[in-house]
Amino acid sequence: MNERHGAAFGDECLIVVSDLIRSSAKRNTDMVVRYGGAEFMLILPDTEPMAALKLAKVIRRHIEEFTVSFAGKNEKLTVCIGVGVVQPRQFSSPTVLLQKAEMALFSAKQKGSNCIKVL
């Protein structure tokens, strides 16, 4: 977005995406954080893999349906979502969860825009 419409438009897209993610995650324990330039992390404690996938699909649909309007410019967005799932007994540190989520996101990005990958 930044290359095509400028940094201010890109910033508006980040705000919109974070708001859409936050509004999709309804529980008090769900936490949305910005992880990198245009990457977000949604932490869903006590969530089964199928529930996480279902929420990822809801988030993708909300983003697809939304048009970002800023300074006379309109843009439809797409999203790649990587879902990493671990059970507490499977790992000794949050690092394993983060690595799984990063691998899933990388795999989703390799498939192209608007993809979801669960690991």
* pLDDT-derived band at 81, boundaries 50, 70, 90: very high
Mean pLDDT of the chain: 88
* pLDDT-derived band at 36, boundaries 50, 70, 90: confident
C-beta separation of 80 from 105 below 8 A:
yes
Domain boundaries, the chain: 2-118
For the domain spanning 2-118, the CATH number is: 3.30.70.270
Give the single-character DSSP code of 89: G
Query: How many angstroms separate the CA atoms of 103 and 58, rounded?
Result: 21
DSSP-H helix ranges across 27-79: 49-65
* Chain CA centroid to CA 57, Å: 10
Average of per-residue pLDDT across 90-108 = 82
Query: How many angstroms separate the CA atoms of 110 and 14, rounded?
Result: 21
Q: Kindly tell me if the per-residue pLDDT of 92 is higher than 70.
A: no
Q: What is the pTM of this model?
A: 0.86
Q: Residue 51's pLDDT is what?
A: 93
